[in-house]
Chain A
Amino acid sequence: MRNKYSVFSLIKNALSYHENWQRAWKDPAPKKEYDVVIVGGGGHGLATAYYLAKKHNINNIAVVEKGWIGGGNTGRNTTIIRSNYLWDASAGLYDHALKIWEGLSQELNYNVMFSQRGVMNLAHNLQDVRDLKRRTHANRLNGIDAVYLSTEEVKKFCPIINTSPDIRYPVLGGTLQRRAGTARHDAVAWGYARGADAMGVDIIQNCEVKGIKRNGDSVEGIETTKGFIKTKKVGVVAAGHSSVIANMAGLRLPLESKPLQALVSEPVKPVIDTVVMSNAVHAYVSQSDKGELVIGAGTDDYVSYTQKGSHQIVEGTLNAILELYPIFSRMRMLRQWGGIVDICPDASPILSKTSIKGLYFNCGWGTGGFKATPGSGDLFAHTIANDEPHKLNAAFNLNRFVSGDLVDEHGAAAVAH
């Protein structure tokens, strides 16, 4: 039985110096057979297991993770959550996630620190202005809150932005989604892990998948570093390593894995109470509750699994940040890191069945998967349980690369997801 977190449990545990908190999830050895095995213990994988157990009454589930849970891109992103995408299919997908975010802490009994502080996107040239206005209208038609702001309104909403007309890329306007914001990324993985574990899901860490066993066109199980696990359904949620797993099953995916970098500054007092993104100059920034500026940089253009990335990418982002926010000019950066993101040609994800029965892929989230974590888990669980996609993820099938029915968000929406 899982103890509930509350102010009373906090007081009770304070009396014993916080030494007797119950484990948030177990550390089981893998069983011989499961109904479903999820490959990848990041936010999306754990959320998938959680919703499979909660909404589809499947409780013989394992999540296998080669490292530790939330140690991949879940712990490496810049925690931005928004749903202001241009196309209807994307709007449906990302707003489904945003609606779940709004009640997630209560549902999981775990504070994911979801903060609807708003996300502002800046326009720096005439085409940006047209694109952002178009996107604002498209969002409103899809029931997503969006407003277009003039330069003065941008300045009023975030006073530290340099809106002077004589900078290299002047701010000509922007959009604002007030329901958007940030959440604590580690807490999302931990909250879903605790919730899934409470319903009997086995979370198996330090267990790397080495092969996928097939019998003709169906899945029979997976080879792992902790032995063979028999299962008829495998859901792969392996982000940057999706192609590696696909190759084990003899599948090819339309993905390229590239390093995406982010960095944080030394902690300072509150200075920016929203998230500001600028696609034209590729700079986005928010401030964590610890006071660090969280800055997202871009991807390198070559395939790499190194979790590093090139120096000039960070340099380019910081140049843009400094021009937009002269107040940051003497701040020091504390840490920089990279994550490996799996990018689709149309910059939209794949949540899909494959040509192999019982093998499902949830991948291609590229540079912007964190915001979709709850929705992705919910819809992927539906797809696995029913062997059919939900109507919200039907457009995100693997077959779209054959039919040509792409969801082209690359240039159309906010590029930096």
Chain B
Amino acid sequence: MFLINCPYCGERDQQEFKAGGEAHIERPKQPTELSDDEWAEYLFMRKNIKGIQFERWNHAHGCRKWFNMVRDTSNDEIKAIYKMGEKPPTQ
């Protein structure tokens, strides 16, 4: 269990949040042009990284807003939190 610093509400218990999976997966701009392989990539294939991962979270039992998180999945340490639409940190 860990604390999450919601960019809108501040530090809250992890229990209030819902994980939303890998971040920065962009919906295809031309869905009708996509091959089956490309659909599979978009819908199902995931990096599932052991280490630094970029992901989406939702403050489900709070402000209900979505935001992004950089987290080390090997020890659950949160490295950075940034709002939707903001550029992901490079370091």
Contacts and interface: CB of A to CB of B under 8 A. Distances in A.
A402 B48 contact: no
B19 A252 contact: no
Contact of B48 (A255, A300, A308): A255
Nearest to B36: A402
Interface string B8-49: 000000110011010000000000000011011101111111
Contacts of B46: 243, 252-256
A188 to B, nearest CB: 26
A306 B76 contact: yes
Interface residues of B, number: 26
A257 interface: yes
Contacts of A402: 36-37, 39-40
Contacts of A305: 50, 73-74
Contacts of A253: 45-46, 48
A342 B19 CA distance: 16
Nearest to A242: B48
B90 interface: no
Interface string B60-91: 00000000000101111000000000000000
A256 B21 contact: yes
B83 to A, nearest CB: 19
B37 to A, nearest CB: 6
Contacts of A304: 73, 76
Contacts of B21: 256, 303
Nearest to A306: B76
Contact of B44 (A300, A342, A345): A345
Contact of A252 (B15, B36, B47, B53): B47
Contact of B18 (A301, A311, A342, A403): A301
Nearest to B57: A302
Contacts of B18: 301
A303 B55 contact: yes
Contact of B45 (A252, A257, A300): A252
B75 A306 contact: yes
**Of A255, A305, A306, A311, most B-chain CB atoms within 10 Å:** A305
Contacts of A302: 19, 55, 71
Contacts of B37: 402
A228 interface: no
Contacts of B76: 304, 306, 308
B15 A310 contact: yes
**Of A243, A301, A306, A402, most B-chain CB atoms within 10 Å:** A402
15 contacts: A244-B50, A252-B41, A254-B40, A256-B21, A256-B48, A301-B19, A302-B55, A303-B21, A308-B76, A310-B1, A310-B14, A311-B1, A312-B1, A345-B43, A401-B40
Q: Which 4 pairs of residues, A with B, have the shortest CB-CB distance?
A: A302-B19, A243-B48, A254-B44, A252-B45
Interface of A: 241, 243-244, 247, 252-257, 300-306, 308, 310-312, 342, 345, 401-404
